[in-house]
Structure formats: structure tokens, C-alpha cells
Amino acid sequence: MTLITLRRALDEARTGGYGIGAFNVTDLVQTEAVLTAASETGSPVIVQTIAGASAHGSDELFWSLLQRTIDHYPDVPTVLHLDHGPDPDTCRRAIDAGFSSVMIDGSLDRVTHQPATFEDNVAATVEVVEYAHARGVSVEGELGTIGGSEDGTAHAEIVLADPEQAESFVNLTGVDALAVAIGTSHGAYKFTSPPDGTVLHMDLITEIARRVPDTHLVMHGSSSLPADLRTVINAHGGTLPESWGSRRAKRHARRPSESPSSTRGWTRTWRTWLPCGPRSTRTV
């Protein structure tokens, strides 16, 4: 298994002047597709998942299967990353299960789904950083809140990151990477019109990058939501509304996250194949 930490992957990306895609997966078919594409293009990759996102009853079972799949791609430098860990306990479970990187998302109160205080966010993040760094695992934190929904349930409001707080947060926690809210949004339905400077605040990420030069910045909610995928899906029975993604934002971070775009690609393939596949599949 060629597992590397997020810190190492992003350090090398900065030196080489490139970005690394982070792809959310919920099953082994998606995982295989991501790793095969990385192998064919000679690219490092971040394979990430959210606790409870798979169809398996046990996170640990699915996580073990992810690692066994990565074993089959020894030529691909791979970060196995827990996305949006909701609390320190979940992050510790992922670290103990063999993840090379975890995200602790202390920006939201998990009970009220309201923005957490800065102090509570720092406390949760420090707890994870101490546990992770002692075991050679990277940590990503989050400041401000990304809009939309990570898992299709509660929808968070957008609270923009403050550059001065970002500098303080990094100094207090020692995170390897920081996800900052600049107006992007999670999920498959982001913006009702192409986002411009009144929606995506590029000035924030420029100022934050200046203040924390040794910490890598991460862009969540950065899927581009290609219109051609929506067109094909809707032509085969889908009802996806028109929506615009955040393609422009990807130029400003080393690690853009992708989930809705790759999921739409998977949906397009199944919707176009099922009507003409073997008879046994037409009743699924």
C-alpha cells in the first residue's frame, strides 16, 4: 500500500506547482475508478470518505476494504482521508483504522447545526491534532462554515472565514491544512446562477494564504457540476434542476474536493445503461 500523509502530498504539490483532487467514495466501485484514473494519469490522489456514508453497517469494515483496494495500486501515491470528521472520537476511530489523514470539522455544533464558537472549534481540533500527530497522521481543520449539505441532511448556512481568525486558528492548533469558507457550497445544488465575486470571495483566500504560508488551504464545495451530465441524466428520467458549481475557485487551493460531479458521472452511466442492459437488470 502506497499511503502517504496529506501534509506530504500537499508539500509535494506546492513544490511541483499542481493540485491534488480529493474524491469522496461510498463504495469500492467508485474507489476503483478513482485509483485507476490516478494510475493511468500518473497522479497522486486523495481517496476520502465520510463516516457512515457507505452501505456497510460498520465503518471499520468499509474502511478496511478501502485499504485493501488501495493495496492493488502500489504505483499510486494515495492519501486515505476522513472527510468532515464530526468529533474527535470519529477521527480517532479512523486513525486507529489506518487512515493517513483526518479532517476534524469543528466549525458546526453537531447537535444544533449552528456555527460553533471559535473556542470550541479550537479545542476539538487541538484534541485531534495531538492524537494524530503522535501517530504520524495529518490533520485538516475548518474555519467558517461551508454552505449546503455534506450528506444530504441538514443544510448549513455560509459563514465566511475571517483572515485574522484563520491565522490565530493555525497558530493555536497546528493543523496541516485548513478548509476556509469563502462562499462555496456543499452538495449537488450550489448556485442558481454562475457565481461571481459577490458569491465567491477570492480576496479572502488570498489574504488567508498570505497569513498562513506554511499551512495548505483546502477548497470544499468546489465541484463544477457539468451541465452535460445533467442533460444526459434528465434525458433518461432524471429531474435535476439547473445549478452552477464552483469551477473558478479551484485555481486558488492545492486540494479541491470533488463529490457531486463524480457522483453525477456515475448516475449518468447507470441511467443510460440500465434500459439496454441484460434483462435481469431492467427490474432493479
Which residues participate in catalysis according to the annotation? Answer: 83
Would you call 103 exposed, middle or buried from its count of C-beta atoms within 10 A (0-12, 13-18, 19+)? Answer: buried
Pairwise CA distance, residues 24 & 47, whole Å: 6
| SS3 at position 49 | strand
Pairwise CA distance, residues 95 & 139, whole Å: 10
Report CA torsion sign: 137, 116, 155, 161. negative
- The H-or-E segment that residue 88 falls in is helix 88-97
For β-strands 45-49 and 22-24, DSSP reports them as: parallel
